[in-house]
Amino acid sequence: MAIFLSRLTFGQSGQINKELDWSERMALSVMKRNPEAWQIDFMDLPVWSYPQGLMLHAFEELWKKTDNNAYYDYIQAYADKLIEEDGQIKTYKYETYNIDMINSGKLLFNLYDKTGDERYKKAIETLRKQLKYQPKTSEGGFWHKLRYTNQMWLDGAYMGTPFLMQYAKEFKDSEAFDEGVLQLVLMEKHLRDTKTGLLYHGWDESRFQAWANPETGRSPNVWGRAMGWYAMAVVDALDFLPEEHYGRIVLTGILQRLAVAITRYQDEKTGLWYQVIDQGDREGNYLEASASCMFVYALAKGVNKGYLDKAYLKIAEKGFEGIVSELIEVKENGELDLTQVCAVAGLGGNPYRDGTYEYYINEKIRTNDPKGVGPFILAALALGR
């Protein structure tokens, strides 16, 4: 831990400086809890997985802002722990076609650009190859995993699309731009409720799954983090599209429609969002941290980039204030805890996850889950907080 923390700003007796921005205070808290980045997500052994990629993407953005190489070193140490000398990725299983495993690949572009180390390029190409052969729906939408046949989940939008767009830009793969836009368009097409503007968690083209509506193929409820994944995917994908690409207009329109729906379901009192977004008054529902952080980030970045009307900045600010006042706990040493994060939620599998309201509200709730903490750092950065 000393390798990284010795370069960072602390007060006396290892205190985290409360004068720092929320983004740095949280990043320092993460590093205190996880001396090595592979430990993120409560891991006992190093794994290549999406929570690490999400958190370390936030660290990458923080490094760009602060120019503090301790954050860069923290990221690189994760990559070097998992990538072999020949570029093979430890614990990664190509044959599962698990789109979640693409997410951490986003970290490798900057590492390759900065070092020129061919290991990173080879790992990038491995992940790109997976997406080239990813099983698809009849319209070309990526299945979430090989074993989740014919299914698109909103989670997968974030896991695969920004990586694909960044690859397209870095390696001049114009077809990848088109395919990335298609993924986000298909999800809105099949999952958006025209009355509320909200998107359901998953879609089964075959209508085979017990959770799938026999007419629409949709899962039955609107899970907060699923929509959060999608909102972040859209706003991040726009970073890489060329100005002249038709997808900029398409994705900006999607983001604007999302912003309207998100705002409509923001809790008036706290500024937060519920685990099951549109059922806030129902027994057992709760204000959930990861969705709230993701929405704040997407709205704030959308305004900063000029995709959204400036009025949405107030919505984002209200959300961030709610996160800080309702969900952040500050320890005596200045360390931050983020509470009320849904640990995980999915559809199907064994034991079977049926997508009911009762299912979502009864999934485990954790403190400092990276799926909330990473977006908190991104939200704080987007708001300059």
Give the count of beta carbons closer than 10 Å to the beta carbon of residue 188. Answer: 19
Which tokens go with 48? 């290549």
**What are 341's strand-pairing partners?**
366
Instruction: Give phi and psi for 337, each to the nearest 5.
Output: -115, 135
Amino acid in position 186:
L
The answer to whether the Cα torsion of 72, 74, 77, 79 is positive or negative is: negative
How far apart CA 160 and CA 25 sit, in angstroms, is: 29
Q: Smallest Cα–Cα separation from 150: which of 131, 137, 133, 132? A: 137
Marked catalytic residue, from 41, 100, 155, 204: 155
Distance set, CA 215 to CA 107, 183, 205, 218 (Å): 40, 21, 10, 8
Distance set, CA 90 to CA 72, 93, 252 (Å): 21, 9, 37
How far apart CA 85 and CA 11 sit, in angstroms, is: 39
How far apart CA 223 and CA 360 sit, in angstroms, is: 7
Annotation marks residue 155 as catalytic: yes
Q: Is residue 82 within 8 Å of residue 38, measured between CB atoms?
A: yes
Q: What are the catalytic residues? A: 155
